[in-house]
Amino acid sequence: MPGENLSREEARERAAALSVERYDVALDVRSAVGAAPQGGERAFRSTTVVDFRCAQPGGSSFADLVATEVVSVRLNGRELDPAAVYDGARIALDGLAERNTLVVDAHCAYSRTGEGLHRFEDPEDGEVYLYTQYEPADARRVFANFEQPDLKAPFTFQVTAPEGWTVLSNAEPDGEPAAAGGGGTTTRFRPTLPIATYITAVVAGPYHVERDHYARALDDRSTLDIPLRALCRRSLAKHFDADEIFTVTKQGLDFYHETFGYPYPWGKYDQAFVPEYNIGAMENPGLVTFREEFVFRGKVTRASYEHRASVVLHEMAHMWFGDLVTMRWWDDLWLKESFADFMAAFSQVAATRYKEGWITFANRRKAWAYRADQLSSTHPVVADIRDLEDAKLNFDGITYSKGAAVLKQLVAYVGQDAFFEAARRYFRRHAYGSTELADLLSVLSETSGRDMPAWSRAWLETAGVNSLTPHLTCTAQGTIEELTVLQGADDPAHPQLRPHRVAVGLYKRMPGGALERYARAEADVAGSVSVVPELAGQPQPDLVLVNDDDLTYCKVRFDAASLETLRGHLGDLSDPLARALAWSAVWSMTRDALMPAGDYLGLVLLFAGRETDIGVLQSLHVQARTALTHYVAPERRDLAAAELAQGAVQELRLAEPGSGHQLAWARFFASVASSPADLQLLRGLLAGTARIDGLTVDQELRWTLLGALTARGAAGAEEIAAERARDDTASGHRHEVRCLAARPDAGVKARVWADVVESDALSNALVEASIAGFVQAGQRELLEPFTDAYFAALEGVWASRSIEIAMAVVSGLFPALQDPAGTLAATEAWLAAHEAAAPALRRLVLEGRDDLARALRAQQCDARAAEAARGGAAL
């Protein structure tokens, strides 16, 4: 839509001209219930009053709004013709005074895509639930505003809703709800402190609510008392473990108050778990929203609880990093997301029972960063964000997890005390304001005495990832003569070598078989070769682990002897973090075609069953499936799949009954099972005729088993319908859609394609489920005809769909399973022919191309290794 994609330059011009004093927003959402209008979409009334100043009286600007109808626009008492001033995305404002009041009365559409004000009807009981989601710029789908992060202001919300609904916003209600003319009640909320538009929020519906409170003495005279609420749909209440959520919440508030030295400023702390949510969670001050999949309907592993705790703590960190102090423009998105990702792991380990937080960070979060940093779309942590489409795509592994890893390196570089003192000064100095990179570097320079601009240039303002490789020379007596660390930059486009503060660990096999560290030294690595003199004279190790304790952000490589040790003894590493780092390193080597995929799968078969950390085990399962699907040579896939399935069922039977490891192996087995015997076991588990001691086949596991059978043609529509009858819930509906789309039938695939690509009828959650079912690794031939259709549809999808849905379609349906070189050539041809396409669209296609090219390189590596092995066997 013209004008909807705000540019950085436009935002800067508007911020230079305008300052906002207050918003008063009234929403009437009674139309969310009852019959839908004939031949039209549901809409709600939105009335906005904005008081703002203009530094250039007589000048012009614009307000943002996406509405189905603008009823009236009044500027400083002047009635403006909506047809003349509104273009579908912007309201033109001319002849501005020094002080201005804008009043906009509009009707806006409820969302089915999770953008704006989302409406969901629960199939289980027919109840309707609403919630808002705005980041980066969808508040304009709900009320008229100046939609950019640096134009902060106090907000007062008023919501008229059906009687009996729970209605929440960022602030507490200002009195009891009042009866509204025509039925329903009106809740008026107190004014907020100054916040950005994208973190305002409204949640409304017959939600189930749990309550608690948090108290903390600030000094001898005052106590901070924060009301706590946790919400979910009524039909999910029987699964809601609010006590665990409140426990983590209180632990986090304790930790952040102690660490940040700035009291929580937003009054209350509500956490709403909402349906059909596009992301993990959103840090709206006083009203955090989460995807309701964090309300677990069945048995999950400890890793799921740990992940939820991490998300709770991530969003809580935003109350300071992002909400109290907000980045000026999306270039500095890292100022909130990198810090929240880092603080989530830090606080989790320091304050909760999930002491494995840094292991998960090293093995899972950084894997996301490493992938993103090796794409052609890689960018510095401090990014160059031209417009809102760029901003939407910048919520990536670099902004979150690379930035967090860089902050962990920063703590090692300046020291923990200096780092957190800088945070405290940053909050005090910039509270309720907006900042950029220089503002943070300034306080870090004060507290650390380090050259922060130089550090920033190396770590925040350049892209790419370095590799660190140990090199040893040893004496005839078996001691280390010299140990050096070689630093490389694998991508010629990003040759920067960075200063690293690293720990180097030396490991030896002990008499009992364990591989344990016997020496460690921290060192500053700079340039291409760095000596670690502290380790000279140590006994020759079996394994050298560069970046022990995971202090820096790099790809870890091994000398030949260390790699050989890992091939035979990776599972013998006794320290769980060191073991996670070793797994991460061999996975990186597999992705970089330095280790054949077959070798990696061999390590998984040998050692994954001994992995004690459930989060690492589940990561290994994900990576093994990726290796099988994309990196194993095509002629070896069937054999590799059979070996993985055999290994998985063996570990399933060996796992402790009732344990999370047993559940993880059951799910992994279902994902790789393919032989008649495998499918017979899956059918038996589903029907209850087969049993594995301790394994509870609850409703969520039933859908996993049925999905696997359906994708392999061993179950069909009748079985899916019967399962949906057992589980007539919103989750059951999503599973049903996924399973139906997974059936190996050309007609089914054509219908799913039409539903997702050619129609806009499905909600965001059902688009996601349809794509998940459509794309099946065992159905490459069925999917091959859609390759040409994909490239033909791209620009139309991007132009006609909301960006959230367009991103899901473009990324989710990229023909990654069509891995012959011809698909790569077709991708290159589209990119060459569409240089003028939207940059964000081109970025998504480029990323698909990069992953496909990486897969082809890995397959060639695996094929060469297989051929060499056959040649060796023949000799």
Supply the residues annotated as catalytic. Answer: 315
Give me the torsion for CA of 701, 705, 710, 711, rounded to 10°. 100
| DSSP symbol at 173 | B
Angstrom CA distances, 110 to 44, 117, 520, 757, 797, stand at 7, 5, 58, 21, 21
| Helical H segments across 402-436, by residue range | 403-414, 416-430
Buried/exposed 672-683: b ≥16 CB within 10 Å, e otherwise: bbbeeebbebbb
| Structure token pair of residue 202 | 């409204």
Angstrom CA distances, 566 to 30, 120, 570, 571, 611, stand at 63, 51, 4, 8, 14
Neighbouring C-beta atoms of residue 83, cutoff 10 Å: 8
Q: Identify any residues that bridge with 48 across adjacent strands, giving them in sequence order.
A: 25, 104
- Residues belonging to the chain: 875
Single-letter amino acid, residue 786: F
Closest C-alpha to 172, from 155, 186, 153, 192: 192
Alpha carbon 19 to its chain centroid, in Å, reads 33
Single-letter amino acid, residue 736: E
| DSSP symbol at 692 | -
Helix axes 660-672, 614-626, angle to 10 degrees: 10
646 Cβ neighbours under 8 A, 6+ residues apart: none
| Structure token pair of residue 194 | 């100054």
CB 282 within 8 Å of CB 289: yes
How far is it, in rounded angstroms, from Cα 430 to Cα 835?
41
Buried/exposed 240-262: b ≥16 CB within 10 Å, e otherwise: bebeebbbbbbbbbebbbebbeb
| DSSP symbol at 319 | T
| Structure token pair of residue 389 | 């489409």
34 Cβ neighbours under 8 A, 6+ residues apart: none
Place of tokens 């050096």: 484
List the Cα angle 121/124/125 in 5-degree steps: 75
- Among left, alpha and beta (phi > 0; psi -120 to 50; other), residue 91 is beta
CB 319 within 8 Å of CB 266: yes
How far is it, in rounded angstroms, from Cα 35 to Cα 177?
25
Angstrom CA distances, 135 to 116, 146, 196, stand at 9, 14, 10
Q: Which 3 state secondary structure label does DSSP give 554? A: coil
CB 44 within 8 Å of CB 110: yes
- The number of CA neighbours under 13 Å toward the Cβ of 245 is 29
Neighbouring C-beta atoms of residue 198, cutoff 10 Å: 23
Count of H-run helices and E-run strands, the chain: 29, 28
| Structure token pair of residue 616 | 């690492």
Cis-peptide into 136, omega within 30 deg: yes
Closest C-alpha to 368, from 329, 330, 332, 341: 341
Neighbouring C-beta atoms of residue 866, cutoff 10 Å: 18
The phi and psi torsions of 123 (rounded to 5 degrees) equal: -65, -20
Output the furthest CA–CA distance in the chain (Å, rounded): 93
